[in-house]
């Protein structure tokens, strides 16, 4: 760390790896605090926005300037920087590599403990199972159309046809095995779906109540975490999943999309086309509220939000009807 007072460079070298990690994690340890308190109450230019909160906590007045000219100059003349710090290149390289590795390890450990990561992985498993089931169903359908079209006339629900094929020993073994694989995949999908519901109930109960556990998990998966979803404005949540359509509209100066993932909700796709945009906007605003309460508060207000939402959707539908 280097502080400039006019043209004078005043260095501070971290005493060990732990002190450096604490500083870059937003904590101020005793040695760093004693060094920085010399400028208590004074304005200090910084290049990293992440340092503002940390420095403000010990009485400094950080002002962000990106890029900071003196920092750019130091980075371009690294030999001078090392002289100021009193280090050689090997010492500096070994120290920074050790700090970077530790910060990375700590961050990975932190991410691995997050429940919303389990939600993302479970949803990915759910989607893969749906793809597998669709492929198997297509192969069985081809066989049925060619060899047993009468089954389609008897049973309109194709899942019932697959169950029938599995139960009949007269059908070819490979077709019965595919039917068995489909039914086992369906059972596995139900298990994963229940797990997603349990995880959403534990991690984001308000989001689950407002939009359903699967769609709620899909939104969290799209942005990567509940914290990220809670930080987004309703206008962004509304079009999550429709990024390609948005960029195409911007490039060709066409109409932007009115909805993305949330189009899958029955309140949106089941409404008249002319009010879908309004309902999507209304739904997105309530999802934003629910995500913030889940992340920052933990209180359950999902049923209250859902009831308010239902009343407004009914009013919009009756007005459009």
Sign of the CA dihedral running 83, 85, 86, 89: negative
DSSP-assigned beta bridge partners for residue 62: 44
CATH assignment at residue 261: 1.10.246.90
HSE of 321, CA atoms in CB hemisphere, 13 A: 8
Residue 265 and residue 195 share a domain: no
User: Contact at 8 Å (CB) between 249 and 255?
Assistant: yes
Q: What tens digit of pLDDT does each residue of 213-241 get? A: 999 999 999 999 999 999 999 999 999 99
pLDDT of residue 7: 56
- Of 48-52, 173-177, 201-205, 224-228, the poorest mean pLDDT is in 48-52
Residue 126 and residue 73 share a domain: no
Under the banding of pLDDT at 50, 70 and 90, the label for residue 93 is: confident
Residue 85 and residue 51 share a domain: yes
Q: Taking 60 as the threshold, does the pLDDT of residue 280 lie above it?
A: yes
Q: Taking 70 as the threshold, does the pLDDT of residue 82 lie above it?
A: yes
Give the length of the chain. Answer: 321
Instruction: Find the largest Cα–Cα distance for the chain.
Output: 91
Q: Taking 90 as the threshold, does the pLDDT of residue 22 lie above it?
A: no
Residue 143 and residue 92 share a domain: no
Under the banding of pLDDT at 50, 70 and 90, the label for residue 321 is: low
Region 240-260: mean pLDDT is: 90
pLDDT of residue 106: 79
Residue 320 and residue 219 share a domain: yes
Residue 284 and residue 257 share a domain: yes
User: Contact at 8 Å (CB) between 188 and 129?
Assistant: yes
pLDDT of residue 282: 95
HSE of 76, CA atoms in CB hemisphere, 13 A: 7
Instruction: Report if pTM > 0.75.
Output: no
How far is 151 from 161, CA to CA, in rounded Å? Answer: 7
Q: Domains in the chain: how many in total?
A: 3
Higher pLDDT, 34 or 128: 128
Share of the chain above pLDDT 90, in %: 50
Residue 119 and residue 52 share a domain: no
Residue 314 and residue 236 share a domain: yes
Residue 261 and residue 213 share a domain: yes
Q: Taking 70 as the threshold, does the pLDDT of residue 208 lie above it?
A: yes
Q: Which of 203, 231, 262 is the last residue of a domain?
A: 203
How far is 26 from 23, CA to CA, in rounded Å? Answer: 5
Under the banding of pLDDT at 50, 70 and 90, the label for residue 108 is: confident
Residue 54 and residue 78 share a domain: yes
pLDDT of residue 99: 85
Region 180-206: mean pLDDT is: 96
Non-local (6+) Cβ contacts of 97 within 8 A are none
pLDDT of residue 152: 83
Residue 221 and residue 285 share a domain: yes
Residue 180 and residue 122 share a domain: yes
Helix 89-112 with 78-85: angle, nearest 10 deg: 90
Q: What tens digit of pLDDT does each residue of 141-178 get? A: 999 999 888 888 766 688 999 999 999 888 899 999 99
Share of the chain above pLDDT 70, in %: 84
CATH assignment at residue 81: 3.30.420
**What pairing do the DSSP bridges indicate for beta strands 8-11 and 43-46?**
unpaired
Q: Which of 145, 177, 203 is the last residue of a domain?
A: 203
Specify the long-range contacts of residues 107-115, CB closer than 8 Å, at least 24 apart: 114/225, 115/199, 115/202, 115/203
- Of 8-17, 179-188, 242-251, 270-279, the poorest mean pLDDT is in 8-17
Q: Which of 112, 146, 173 is the last residue of a domain?
A: 112
Average pLDDT, the chain: 85
How far is 107 from 24, CA to CA, in rounded Å? Answer: 12
| Tokens read off for 20 | 């450096």
Q: Which domain holds residue 312?
A: 205-321
Under the banding of pLDDT at 50, 70 and 90, the label for residue 261 is: very high
**What pairing do the DSSP bridges indicate for beta strands 8-11 and 2-5?**
antiparallel
pLDDT of residue 90: 83
Under the banding of pLDDT at 50, 70 and 90, the label for residue 50 is: low
């Amino acid at each position: 760390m280097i502080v400039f007072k006019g043209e004078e460079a005043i260095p501070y070298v971290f005493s060990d790896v732990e002190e450096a990690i604490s500083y870059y994690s937003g904590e101020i340890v005793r040695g760093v605090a004693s060094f920085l308190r010399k400028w208590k109450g004074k304005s200090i230019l910084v290049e990293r926005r992440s340092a503002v909160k940390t420095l403000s906590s010990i009485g400094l007045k950080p002002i962000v300037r990106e890029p900071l000219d003196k920092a750019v100059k130091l980075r371009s003349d690294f030999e001078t920087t090392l002289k100021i710090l009193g280090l050689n290149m090997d010492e500096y390289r070994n120290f920074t590599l050790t700090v970077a590795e530790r910060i990375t390890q700590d961050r990975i450990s932190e991410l691995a403990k997050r429940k919303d990561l389990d939600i993302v992985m479970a949803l990915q498993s759910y989607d893969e199972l749906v793809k597998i089931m669709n492929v198997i169903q297509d192969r069985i359908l081809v066989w049925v159309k060619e060899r047993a079209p009468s089954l389609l006339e008897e049973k309109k629900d194709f899942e019932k046809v697959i169950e029938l094929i599995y139960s009949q020993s007269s059908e070819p073994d490979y077709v019965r095995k595919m039917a068995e694989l489909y039914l086992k995949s369906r059972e596995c999908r139900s298990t994963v779906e229940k797990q997603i519901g349990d995880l959403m109930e534990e991690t984001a109960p308000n989001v689950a109540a407002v939009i359903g556990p699967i769609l709620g998990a899909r939104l969290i998966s799209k942005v990567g975490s509940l914290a990220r979803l809670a930080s987004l404005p309703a206008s962004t949540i509304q079009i999550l999943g429709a990024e390609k359509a948005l960029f195409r509209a911007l490039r060709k100066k066409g109409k932007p999309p009115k909805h993305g993932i949330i189009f899958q909700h029955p309140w949106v796709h089941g409404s008249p086309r002319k009010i879908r945009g309004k309902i999507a906007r209304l739904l997105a605003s309530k999802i934003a509220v629910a995500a913030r309460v889940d992340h920052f508060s933990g209180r359950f207000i999902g049923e209250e939000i859902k009831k308010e939402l239902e009343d407004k959707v009914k009013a919009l539908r009756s007005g459009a009807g």
